[in-house]
Structure 1
Amino acid sequence: MSSGDFSRRTLLAGGAGVAAAMLPGVAFAGQDGGSRTRTVAGTLKPDVPDWYYLPVDVPRGVRQIDVAYSYDKPSVPAGTRGNACDIGIFGPEGYELGNARGFRGWSGGFRDRFSISASEATPGYLAGLITPGRWHVILGPYTVAPQGLNYRVDITLTFGPAGTPFEPEPAPESAPARDRGRAWYRGDSHLHTVHSDGRRTPEQLVADARAAGLDFIVSTEHNTSSAQLVWGRYAPADLLILNGEEVTTRSGHWPAIGLPAGTWIDWRYRAADPRDFRRFTDQVHRAGGLVTAAHPFANCFGCTYEFAHELADLVEVWNGPWGAEDEASVVHWDGLLRGGRFVPAIGNSDAHNPGQQVALPHTVVLADRLRREELLAGLKAGRSWLAESAAVQLDFTVSGGGQQAGIGERLPAGTGTPVTVEAVVGGVPGTTVTILDQLGPQHTEPVGDSGAATVRWTTYPRYSRWVRVEVRRPSGGLNAMVALANPIFLGTGR
């Protein structure tokens, strides 16, 4: 057994305000068969870096690597954070920031052990040859109690032939049974399975997405690309599955959606150095994906979005069942609009467990086809609206001067041209429809028991720079959102 304290660790550079440290390592000698285990234990003090790397020297002839870890959880006073520690691993190709070749998996704090071989790996980890060289187990002390965090890591190497190589099976790029050409498509772009901290299997997620009436989903596992390599085993002809990753940093979460299969985005930085954030958002954009500012006001450590909104393509203003955090997100998003910055809104369920409803909410996007490029283009342009379920219907348009425009578009009418704003809703009994512009709510009408209504209001571009619509229902003391549309812009200016 090896043990160490802070004085024996080597500090490493990790970006502005983000340090890393090297823990005492272990080395294994080669052998013909069987397995061997080495253990490292020690204590992390409350004033610690975000990441620790534990070197593991792996000889030739290793078939499988298994890692198990544990740490204590002492009692802490009310209002004080206790111990929580994440885990992952990098191969001998390196662990430098952005080194996708070295990344071999991550499970955060969801699992206490993992296994990797050429043929298979624990969900969240990447199957592949156990190549000889220096591997690094990464520990991420998420929060540390005042007493410190006592940890133990057991590394087991099993020797023998490598076995049959893993064959990736990414999801197909189309779902022909759902492709309706240019149409409105319903999708949930923030979802989890057992490949990170979700309780659903991929099969269960597909079944629940189909039952919810979705046309597409985006798989966004925390900090790993492992699910991207297996979705082809589960993809039906009537559901398009896109790849993503919820990039889970200590300064907030930002799902990268619409990635090519096998794309990994690094997360080992904070908002203190915007160069790192820009580096990886640029990587997403080069890959053809979009950046989402997730649950901006989530009330958990490291969840609130602290990065620059101008580098995000979308902002998730509605995450799961409606609550005060979502209200704050909509108010902030509306403030961005009033200040002249349009970051299209998106709504997702962020469903992790069978008790959390897929597609509550989801986003309905206008796209030329049910394909990645067309869906992402519609989302980035803001040609979309948010709904609590597939039963909710919304058609939102403006017309004036012989022209018409829809959600995310512009009506280039003169300042004195009367503009008719029209919202047609269905499936929303017991709600109110409100039309808003940059000055706030302008017109509200109730919806009767039929759940259907047509609401109209007239304005002029000299008074309204943009208009948008909300559908809400009183629920549990909240004026809960039922549907929300991205704005329609009025006039010839921007």
Structure 2
Amino acid sequence: MIPPLPETLPSLEGFSQGVWVKGDWHLHSRHSTDSSNNPEAKIIGFAERMGFDYLAITDHDVHVMGAVAHHTWADPEFRSDSVLLFYGAELTAARGHINILSCEPYDHQRIFDARDDRDWNLLRLKQELGVHMSANHPSTKNHYGYSFDLADSVEIWNGCVWPKNIPGVRIWDDMLKSGRMLGARGGSDSHHGVPDTPEQIVPLSVEASANYVGTPTTWIFARERSKPAILRALEQGRASVSSNPYNPRVELYADVDGDGVMEMMMGDNVHPTGRPVTFEVRLAGGGIPGANYGVRVIKNRDPFGSFVTDAESRTVRFTDTPGLGERNYYRVEIEGPQAPYPEVPNSMAQSQNMIALSNPLYFNYDPSF
């Protein structure tokens, strides 16, 4: 059942104290030995011109023997007056790759040295250092092979080529179905600077010509525009991912008590009342004017329904009744025409018709799990 859209959309009470920010959680500079044409000044300068709010340059620690503090972070180019720069690196180990993220410098050498330890030892170390561990590209050849109980978030959209991410999204769904509240993010995993001239594009691979800052873009709803608030919101799942920064941001809300006010947003977890819940999908900013976008709703890993946004309000509503004694989650995927990304034009075709996806709304989840 699709409730009719009101002439005036209700205000989102409870969500006014916050700010949406956009950025990229997975990037490689010249300090990764498999990178090219990508000094930090080029990455950060591009992000500044594009109006990004935050970045995480996560060079492979194995390339610098864990000493990222003396390479990536110590580089004089690692600075910005407008973009919030997280300290981090990509832990590159036999069991896969983890992005380590932090608001302040930390002792990455200790994590590098413990990369083959048992998960519970790594968990203690993570807690001691106060860092965020994000599971990278869980379905690739360098898949995340550690316990997901160790992860604070998971990368479900890696790079501009959407089809390669579908198995990773399935793994994420498996983790959500198992009862984990696991925030999802994107990351371009860009290793190479965008070509300086159009003539350079033709002979280059997709990785070198179509993948750069913001392919995809992760949107975060944080209490304030600060690194601690952004990292906390990522862990909470108050985020969505778009294939590029010119595409709309998807937002998912719910009215649990039927009063016409949306009390839940992505990442929230409540006990259901036994009454129908009205869910609302909103597309904000960007996109193709007048376009209708397809909305695919996923409930507990399975398709729940497919809808089409209203072209004017760019909104869809649907209802369902989460069971009182059941654990349920809902998330959405958006398909439609790609908005051009003129600065990285080759990325559009690689993303196909996948525009955006949301983090879930949770019902009856155990937040301690």
Indicate the TM-score class for this superposition, using the shorter chain for normalisation: 0.7 to 0.9
Instruction: Report Cα offsets for 1:316-345 as digits up to 9, x if no partner.
Output: 111001333310000111111112122211
| Residue aligning to 1:307 | 146
| Residue aligning to 2:20 | 184
| Residue aligning to 2:317 | 456
Displacement, 1:227? 3.8
**Residue identity in the other structure for 1:436:** I
| Residue aligning to 1:58 | none
Map 1:2-151; keep pairs closer than 5 Å. none
| Residue aligning to 1:243 | 87
How far apart are the structure 2 equivalents of 1:320 and 1:382?
20
**Residue identity in the other structure for 2:252:** F
SS of alignment partner, residue 43 of structure 2: helix
SS of alignment partner, residue 311 of structure 1: coil
| Distance change (3 Å), C-alpha of 1:423 and 1:362 | same
CA contact (8 A) 1:434 1:471 kept: yes
**Residue identity in the other structure for 1:249:** A
How far apart are the structure 2 equivalents of 1:439 and 1:254?
24
Displacement, 1:260? 2.8
CA contact (8 A) 1:321 1:361 kept: yes
How far apart are the structure 2 equivalents of 1:480 and 1:282?
42
1:425 is the counterpart of 2:264:
no
How far apart are the structure 1 equivalents of 2:316 and 2:102?
35
TM-score (norm 2): 0.75
| Residue aligning to 1:390 | 245
| Distance change (3 Å), C-alpha of 1:379 and 1:333 | same
How far apart are the structure 2 equivalents of 1:362 and 1:482?
11
How far apart are the structure 1 equivalents of 2:301 and 2:105?
44
1:285 is the counterpart of 2:146:
no
User: Which residues of structure 1 form unaligned runs of 5+?
Assistant: 1-179
User: Which residues of structure 2 form unaligned runs of 5+?
Assistant: 1-15, 62-66, 194-208, 338-347
Instruction: Report Cα offsets for 1:364-412 as digits up to 9, x if no partner.
Output: 1121222222111111111111112222222320002136111101243
Q: Which has the higher strand share?
A: 1
1:204 is the counterpart of 2:62:
no
Count how many residue pairs are aligned between Structure 1 and Structure 2. Answer: 307
CA contact (8 A) 2:40 2:77 kept: no
How far apart are the structure 1 equivalents of 2:26 and 2:301?
31
Q: 2:158 aligns with which of 315, 319, 340?
A: 319
CA contact (8 A) 1:218 1:258 kept: no
Q: Which has the higher helix share?
A: 2
- The structure with higher relative contact order (CA 8 Å, sep 6+) is 2
Q: Over aligned residue pairs, what C-alpha RMSD do you find?
A: 2.8
| Distance change (3 Å), C-alpha of 1:442 and 1:291 | same
Percent identical residues: 25
Displacement, 1:459? 0.7
CA contact (8 A) 2:31 2:72 kept: no
| Residue aligning to 2:5 | none
Greater Cα radius of gyration, structure 1 or 2: 1
How far apart are the structure 2 equivalents of 1:192 and 1:325?
20
Instruction: Report Cα offsets for 1:448-490 as digits up to 9, x if no partner.
Output: 8x69621110111218722111112488698653211111113
SS of alignment partner, residue 58 of structure 2: strand
CA contact (8 A) 1:244 1:255 kept: yes
How far apart are the structure 2 equivalents of 1:477 and 1:235?
31
How far apart are the structure 2 equivalents of 1:315 and 1:454?
27
| Distance change (3 Å), C-alpha of 1:371 and 1:284 | farther
